[in-house]
A and B are shown apart, each in its own frame.
Chain A
Amino acid sequence: MTAADETQDGGLYAVRQKIYPREISGRFQRLRVIAVWVLLGIYYVLPWIPWGGRQAVLFDLPARKFHIFALTLWPQDFYFLTWLLVIAALSLFFFTALAGRLFCGYACPQTVWTETFLWMERLAEGSRSQQMKLAKSPWTREKILRKAAKQAMWIAFALWTGFTFVGYFTPITELAGKIAGFSTGPWETFWVLFYGGATYVNAGFMREQVCKYMCPYARFQSAMFDRDTLIITYDEKRGEPRGARKKGVDYKAKGLGECVDCTMCVQVCPTGIDIRKGLQYECIACAACIDACDEVMDKVGYPRGLIRYDTQHGLEGKRKRVIRPRTIVYASLLALLVTGFAVTLSGRDVVGVDVIRDRNALFRERADGRIENVYNVKLLNKDREAHEFRIRATGVEGLEVDYAGPTVYVGPGAVQSVPVRIRVPRGAVQGGADLIISVEAEGRPDLSASGKARFIAPTD
């Protein structure tokens, strides 16, 4: 029996050969189920959590603000996102060096959503053998009903996923109301369907093929492997030569190894490989074969671990080293980056100022003989409380700052544009001079910022 029995699947994927992974339970599968619940739980619940009158996590694209609990990030804080991506990449390197493709098996969205789609498939079509029988059977009433039930569950779940995704970018309670009243905007509708459709196709149909043909990580992860990396391996020395045997037979006398060749490890594999042929890049390290093999070993009374997490050095009977130059370098880099990120984030500027010259006139000569320049000062208050700001300017002797003052109110996480007129005595500036325009919150000298501005005046 092979893992990939050929069947014809209708529509877009007409010539596809489908893999029917056998359902399996065991300690690693329990871990994976927990991972699915935790990760998808976070994904589906997070947008519904309120935080001080708004959504706790909201990437408010129309307002160009990212809210993450107490934190509000602005386009100016973009480098934090870049930094975060670097940390994510390095964590991936670290965990890959440590224990291989942990990410693929337990945390990758592709794996996690595929897993839930497999559950729904089993709910509608039954176990592996029932599914295979159903695929071969003609279109009976039962087949139509079962297939329709599966599709209904898949489509509903995919649409809910798309809806949740959009809910990270537009307030989800409003979005839910709009959907209930069929009054979503064109882009909201589009993105719900786009992301829902992507989930449906990726988790319902493409599945392990995404890992095989489309995932770059699957191809380059071996560069982070060494002989001390934990991988899922078949103990060839112990298992071979493999072969069926009767219970209680002295297999050693017959020259057999401990692999009973039950092919359970192949049947449970979601990517349809045979782990006994060695580590292959299709392996997503889901550990289903470990659980399957352990179960069989228990039944036949051999010790567990014919297929197990081990390192190449471990398999060769050498000492296993978790702490080694590669992991030390990755870990210290990671620690450095995370500390730097936390320190920078906690000490980031809370007030921002942006000075734009009025483009309509270079300067104006006033009746009193002074020269006036007009600026548009944008005040950015990233604090969670509102503040009253004072605007000052320095750089030229005897200058005067005029704005609708004495203070400017800026709400929490808001931007306020203030037209500011700066006047200097005639002759104080010849041609041009640089000014510093600074803002400071009333009673909070720590909340201040300044920006440069160019003052233009006629040359006498």
Chain B
Amino acid sequence: MPLLGDEYTGAVRWPRLRQDVAIVTWPSFLVASVATMICFAFIDPVLVGNDDYPPPAFATRMSGYAIGFFFFWLISALSSLLTLYLARTARPEPPETEKPDDWTRSVP
């Protein structure tokens, strides 16, 4: 197979911790961005919570958007972190059923 490399050729690897930080923060950042867009398309932050309990929860729209974004980022990062933890602490698959970790390199 000319298109399949036998070994890992990229000589540069990140240490485990840095990989973990990246794969927790980055996907949650993407999800938080989408969640912020959807949420604030339907909800106007200055109208949040000023009905029965004045003053409003957010002084300005910009602070509402920003705080909303970081809230979503935090929540989705926690979810990513738990997923990562579960994936990393699972008992490894028995060798005979283990898939090569570089399956994404293959071309169907």
Contact = CB atoms under 8 A, between A and B. Distances in A.
B53 interface: no
Interface string B1-36: 111111101111111000100110011000000000
A281 B5 CA distance: 11
A62 B61 contact: yes
Interface stretch (A151-159, A230-238, A253-261): A230-238
A272 B10 contact: yes
B41 A78 contact: yes
A61 B105 contact: no
Given A78-B42, A312-B107, A61 B9 contact: no
Interface in A1-53: 2-4, 15-19
Contacts of B37: 81
A19 B12 CA distance: 8
Of the candidates B22, B26, B62, the one having the most CB atoms from chain A within 10 angstroms of its own CB is B62
Contacts of A190: 66
Contact of B11 (A17, A214, A229): A17
B61 A278 contact: no
A219 interface: yes
A222 interface: yes
Interface string A214-234: 101011101101110101011
A222 B107 CA distance: 6
A385 B79 CA distance: 48
Q: Is the interface of B mostly helix, strand, loop or mixed?
A: loop
A75 B41 contact: yes
Interface in B88-108: 102, 104-108
Contacts of B44: 64, 75
A315 interface: yes
A222 B5 CA distance: 15
A208 B22 CA distance: 13
A214 B26 contact: yes
Contacts of B40: 75
A273 B102 CA distance: 14
A220 B14 CA distance: 21
Contact of A277 (B5, B11, B23): B5
A75 B37 CA distance: 10
Given A222-B107, A273-B9, A277-B7, A213 B63 contact: no
B29 to A, nearest CB: 9
A187 interface: yes
Contact of B9 (A18, A206, A274): A274
Nearest to A221: B104
Contacts of B6: 277
A197 to B, nearest CB: 13
A454 B79 CA distance: 43
Of the candidates A185, A210, A229, A273, the one having the most CB atoms from chain B within 10 angstroms of its own CB is A273
Contacts of A218: 104
A115 interface: no
B60 to A, nearest CB: 7
A61 B65 contact: yes
Contacts of A145: none
A430 interface: no
A212 interface: yes
Contact of B1 (A212, A222, A271, A278): A278
A274 B60 CA distance: 53
A280 interface: yes
B10 A280 contact: yes
A315 B3 CA distance: 10
A64 B61 contact: yes
A39 B41 CA distance: 28
Interface of A: 2-4, 15-19, 61-62, 64, 75, 78, 81, 185, 187, 190-191, 206, 208-210, 212-214, 216, 218-220, 222-223, 225-227, 229, 231, 233-234, 236-237, 271-274, 277-282, 312, 315
| 5 nearest CB pairs, A to B | A277-B5, A4-B11, A78-B41, A236-B2, A214-B26
Interface of B: 1-7, 9-15, 19, 22-23, 26-27, 37-38, 40-42, 44, 60-63, 65-66, 102, 104-108
24 contacts: A3-B11, A4-B12, A16-B14, A17-B11, A61-B61, A62-B60, A62-B61, A64-B61, A187-B62, A208-B12, A209-B12, A213-B22, A214-B27, A218-B104, A226-B108, A233-B2, A236-B2, A237-B2, A273-B10, A277-B7, A277-B9, A278-B3, A280-B5, A315-B2
Given A61-B62, A191-B66, 10 more contacts: A3-B11, A17-B12, A78-B41, A185-B62, A209-B14, A220-B104, A222-B104, A225-B107, A233-B2, A315-B2
